[in-house]
Chain A
Amino acid sequence: MVFNSLHFVAFFFVVYGVYRLLPHKGQNWLLLVGSYYFYASWDWRFLGLLVASTIVDYSSGRLLNRFNDHRRRTLVLIASLTFNLAMLGFFKYFNFFADNLQVVLAVIGWRPDMFTLKVLLPIGISFYTFITMSYVIDVYRRQIDPTRSLLDFAVFVAYFPHLVAGPILRASVLLPQIASPRSASAAQVAEGLWLILWGYFKKMFVADNLAQVVNQVFASGGLPSGLAIVLGTVAFAFQIYGDFSGYTDIARGTSKLLGIELNVNFRFPYFVRTPQEFWAHWHISLSDWLRDYLFLPISYALSRRLDGVRWLGQGDEFWIYSGATIITMLLGGLWHGAAWTFVLWGAYQGLLLVIFRYAAGDRRKRRRRGSLTQWTFQWKDLPAVLLMFSLTCYGWLIFRAESWSQIVLLTGRLFTSFSPSWEVLANVGLPLLVYAGPLLVIHVAEARRGDLNAVPAWPRLARYAVYGAIVYAIVLFGDFEGSEFIYFQF
């Protein structure tokens, strides 16, 4: 049941209608049943995994609360993490590792009769395992108290707006909202409706239409010109942004109607100047998760081993940051999918982060502008923004390519067969302009004010003109075939 289906619309109308009539506990039961139905509509067999994950991590939280000695608490944490990682590893990475092990063994001349399993990837498993792991780790670190209510915890894990593609919410954000009586205010409803409309626009008008252009350029076996690769990659940048941020907007919008606030997950990620800013604006909940549960622990571990070292003229801070960043981004790349192209993409992102941190030096620190919520786009930053966007786009080329050989082929053709032509401009450039242009215009206006919800605050006539144009754009040019969201596969 994807968000862009009539099935979901009907489902949400029923849930919302009944939700408004129920008391707090009834609302939570409804959210749980509705969320399980939502998840089971893909494949009911995987509902067991979701329930198992819920029970194991709820119990882990309770045990961590009961035990005081460090050893027993650590054992509980390890047991919980092992369960979650084993589940994720088996369903997502079993065949990947089995295939690669076979290749490695073949190199040394051993050809064992390995096997691969027809393992189906349970939808959303990467998201809900991260959610439950963060809960157990936070309880272990005593950053939050474990919930006593299994119902509340089950709703926290399965809550349908964020279940299959995030945002990856922390228990500290969502559990208190689930545990408290709630009702949506008029402002929440208005904002929620706008987010839903905007999300559908991003998905059905921008992403799904650009997908057709991108698929042509990245078709395996094709030999696109350099210009087609550039435009196709830019189109993919807007496709994946429209797809994923559109999903998040619909998730946040529906959740607002239910009176529950979800975190902002994207904040104008293509208007940033550095990779550091990019990861603070792109898939923010994943970036935060990677920072708190991978980067920082790895940094601490490395700092204990590398304290005081000086290699190649660089001090320990450089090696600690670089090591932790590269490892984190490699794992972040692998999180996106069991393929070496994603690992390479992670490595590329890690290198960019390291290079920019040390190349920019003090200049970067001087230009830092306050917190994320105070951030605004300024025209004087345009050259830096365009440079960063170009680097981001090359990352998307790696991400979108179907194999390493395609990355090499496309990269080579960028420099050897640029071959500009009107045909490419008409077939790739024009659709890019038509489908990404309106999104860009609105985003520039919003980013100038640093306000993700600038449109609802515009003068009434301008606001209504945008609402109307979005409705017409979706109805007349949107994709109604119900194509899935890209991040569902992750």
Chain B
Amino acid sequence: MGIRTVVQSKAALLCAVMVIQFGLFETGLRLKGGTEAAPEFQRLFTPDSTLGYRLKAGASARLKTADFDTRITINAAGVRDREVGPKAPGERRIVVLGDSLVMAVQVPVEETFTARLERLLNGSARPPSTYRVINAGVQGYGPVEEYLFHRDVTSALRPDIVILGLYAGNDAVEAANAGFRLRGGENRGEPDRPGALDRFTQWRRRMIRRSLVLQVARLRITTLFDRFGWRPEIDPPLRTYLHDAPPGIDTGLAVTRDVVSRLAALTSSQDARLVLLLLPARFQVDDEDYARLKAIVARSGQTLERDRATERFKAALAGLDVPVLDALPPLREASRQSRVFMESTAHFTPYGHEVMARIVAGFLLDSGMTGGQDR
């Protein structure tokens, strides 16, 4: 047997062993649970030809980590909320669209800001008026999916007010990546064929999202590069905050503006009002987190501007005649008393949800959008 054959057979055996071990570790990590990639959590989702995926009606899962232990149940309408029955006389419905910050799997459903908002509004409602606030947040959605989700799912719930939660962190990036879904749904004339590199990147990201082993490996490599001060690319949630944002950000903001226009037209056609809720990233509120990320970005030769993404969203959405509620200033104020974002994830703490509910309730009541049915 030649040397080359020996080397090849050794390499093949080593690869085979490592592939088998990959499967074993993947299985072990999934069985251990405690992450969103765990099979139990993934059962909350079902494939969808328009949206990529959506919440599966009637599904239920427990997510247990070192920081929280919650039961997540999807109702018959396909959102993380209690069942929504027929609209009662005097009932005003509010649908809150958004991503993981709105869905909030880190806290029990009754502690989410949408549930707290409902209680606050009902506390100030003049009988027989009542409010029903529906949490329509879906993990991983961006503005495009949120609009399509409302169009296809939650608009049937006949809301009077639709709140679109826009996360300044990564919504521009996600809108840019998902713009094709708008064309696929309503503008089939335009072909959408990403290049080979884009297709590879999308495939790579899909694989990493599906595999716990790859997710951890990516995290380790990023940590290692961070410590070495070398970062091949800025994380997507930070790109909208860069002084010199990459071109994709402008595209994403334009797509977001397009989405908001469409959503405004849709809600208007259903006699509903649309409100935009701008949600900040954790480091916009947390000084320590900001200092850490600023240093990381600086090592890549770029400048992180703390509120730049919020400003960019405001500028992009100006002139659409849709009210915008910026949650940053009141959250920043509230963070002086206690943490509004969790330490282990960039999601709201129960206190953060309480503050958010007060912010939104105050805005709705002060702006008269509730229709004067309040005390």
Contacts and interface: CB of A to CB of B under 8 A. Distances in A.
Contact of B213 (A5, A7, A464, A476): A476
Contact of A468 (B10, B17, B29, B216): B17
A176 interface: no
B18 A7 contact: no
B25 A461 contact: no
B217 A476 contact: yes
Nearest to B14: A464
B53 interface: no
Given A476-B216, A476-B217, A482-B227, A460 B13 contact: yes
Given A464-B17, A475-B220, A476-B217, A6 B225 contact: yes
Nearest to B219: A480
Contact of A471 (B10, B18, B223): B18
B153 interface: no
Interface in B1-49: 10, 13-14, 17-18, 21-22, 25, 29
A471 B225 CA distance: 18
B213 to A, nearest CB: 7
Nearest to B18: A468
Nearest to B230: A6
A469 B20 CA distance: 10
A468 B223 contact: no
A219 to B, nearest CB: 18
Contacts of A476: 25, 29, 213, 216-217, 220
A208 to B, nearest CB: 13
Contacts of A21: none
Contacts of A10: 228
Contacts, number: 47
A467 B14 CA distance: 9
Given A7-B228, A480-B223, A461 B17 contact: yes
A481 interface: yes
A488 to B, nearest CB: 17
Interface in B205-228: 213, 216-217, 220, 223-225, 227-228
Given A5-B227, A464-B13, A480 B21 contact: no
A44 interface: no
Interface string A466-485: 01110110011010111000
A162 B163 CA distance: 63
- B-side binding surface: helix, strand, loop or mixed? helix
A360 interface: no
A468 B10 CA distance: 13
A257 B227 CA distance: 26
A22 to B, nearest CB: 26
A482 B220 CA distance: 11
A120 interface: no
B228 A475 contact: no
Contacts of B223: 480-481
Contacts of B14: 464, 467-468
Contacts of B10: 460
- A-side binding surface: helix, strand, loop or mixed? helix
Contact of A475 (B13, B217, B227, B230): B217
Nearest to A482: B227
A475 B228 CA distance: 17
A108 interface: no
B180 to A, nearest CB: 34
A475 B216 contact: yes
A295 B13 CA distance: 52
A312 interface: no
A80 B10 CA distance: 54
B35 to A, nearest CB: 12
Contact of B21 (A461, A465, A478): A465
A460 B11 CA distance: 11
A467 B13 CA distance: 12
Nearest to A477: B216
Nearest to B13: A464
Interface string A1-38: 00001110010000000000000000000000000000
B227 A461 contact: no
A306 B29 CA distance: 65
A468 B220 CA distance: 17
Nearest to B217: A475
Contacts of A480: 220, 223-224, 227
B25 A472 contact: yes
B30 to A, nearest CB: 13
Nearest to B223: A480
A405 to B, nearest CB: 32
Interface string A51-77: 000000000000000000000000000
The residue among A5, A7, A460, A464 with the most chain B CB atoms within 10 A of its own CB is: A464
A88 B51 CA distance: 68
Contacts of A465: 17, 21
A10 B18 CA distance: 25
Interface of B: 10, 13-14, 17-18, 21-22, 25, 29, 213, 216-217, 220, 223-225, 227-228, 230
28 contacts: A6-B224, A6-B225, A6-B227, A6-B228, A7-B228, A460-B13, A461-B17, A464-B14, A464-B17, A465-B17, A465-B21, A467-B14, A468-B17, A468-B18, A468-B21, A472-B18, A472-B25, A472-B213, A475-B217, A476-B25, A476-B216, A476-B217, A478-B220, A480-B220, A480-B227, A481-B223, A481-B227, A482-B227
Q: Which 3 A-B pairs have the closest CB atoms?
A: A6-B228, A480-B223, A464-B17
Given A6-B227, A476-B25, 6 more contacts: A10-B228, A465-B21, A469-B21, A472-B25, A475-B217, A480-B224
Interface of A: 5-7, 10, 460-461, 464-465, 467-469, 471-472, 475-476, 478, 480-482
